[in-house]
Structure 1
């Protein structure tokens, strides 16, 4: 069984940096799986992408995979460490899928995670700590991300919460809540 590590947290919390640190420690070929799409007209977005690029070592492979994460998981080898950044961006890219279709994709994703031979480190954003979004798309995104993150955490070897530049292993200090069935 592969090692699955989830790193979650709010914006600018250090979650990507912590995931990168864990990938460095893996002693495997790191494949950075970027789910972000490129929007050249968005200067802020370009700055964020550049910050991630500048932190990555030259020997890490990059795969830009905005949607087809299952293909990457299925092709991964035991000698590889996949760093998937991020689940929230992937969900955004799949947001137009109807609920029934998304449910199938989510279940297939969890199954692929369980079946892959590679070590997998996943980065996920934490949303939903505030008010309920007024718009349907915001509520769908938040609910899908919450359910997916919870499903990944249920099968993860370690789950870290990054907050204010600190990472806490939730599996080590938390109390497990019953697993939720993915929708």
Structure 2
């Protein structure tokens, strides 16, 4: 299909759109040692969540290494090697894991991830959920999650080599077909 040429790729879209499958395809095509960076936390009391995780695991090649990284994403990205392809799935889960952090701590974590991406030696593919296409959540935690996830995707998109939108089972290269928004200030609102 394609031979990917990128250092950082952001794959975004809605739930069940095919984001992870597209990211997995890109990782396989990178012809590097793939390290699947899973941000999920396994809750033994949630069989439906465990089934979702298991489905992802079964779909991946057995020789891909899985790293469970629910919090310290910056360190794992920063430690990447030129022979690595890190597939981070997913940013929304990472945001949810850190939802209780105050804004200053959250911003420091985001800055750490952005700095690690800019200095990463390996190929990095990040999967992120587009959560802002619906109604504004009526509860505070939902609004914080939506705002943090949206701002994180926008900031990563600004430094990514390529950004894909996956919807309806199709991947659209936004870098080729889109126009980047101007950077008006350091933080996006």
What interval of TM-score do these two structures reach, taking the shorter chain for normalisation?
A: over 0.9
Q: Give ranges in structure 1 of 5+ residues lacking alignment.
A: none
Post-superposition, which runs of at least 4 consecutive aligned residues in structure 1 deviate over 3 A?
A: none
TM-superposed deviation, 1:44: 1.3
Tell me how far apart the structure 1 counterparts of residues 16 and 143 of structure 2 sit (CA, whole Å): 22
- Give the root-mean-square deviation of aligned CA atoms: 1.1
In structure 1, the partner of 2:3 is: none
Matched, 1:54 2:58: yes
In structure 2, the partner of 1:176 is: 180
Given that 1:106 and 1:182 are in contact with CA atoms closer than 8 Å, whether structure 2 keeps it comes out as no
Q: Give the alignment partner of residue 40 of structure 2, picking from 1, 20, 36.
A: 36
| 1:120-170 alpha-carbon deviations (Å, 9 max, x no partner) | 000000101111000110000000000010000001111000001100001
TM-score, length basis structure 1: 0.96
Given that 1:73 and 1:112 are in contact with CA atoms closer than 8 Å, whether structure 2 keeps it comes out as yes
In structure 1, the partner of 2:86 is: 82
Tell me how far apart the structure 1 counterparts of residues 118 and 83 of structure 2 sit (CA, whole Å): 16
Q: Give ranges in structure 2 of 5+ residues lacking alignment.
A: 1-5
Tell me how far apart the structure 2 counterparts of residues 9 and 85 of structure 1 sit (CA, whole Å): 13
TM-score, length basis structure 2: 0.93
Given that 1:82 and 1:119 are in contact with CA atoms closer than 8 Å, whether structure 2 keeps it comes out as yes
Tell me how far apart the structure 1 counterparts of residues 148 and 14 of structure 2 sit (CA, whole Å): 16
Matched positions, count: 182
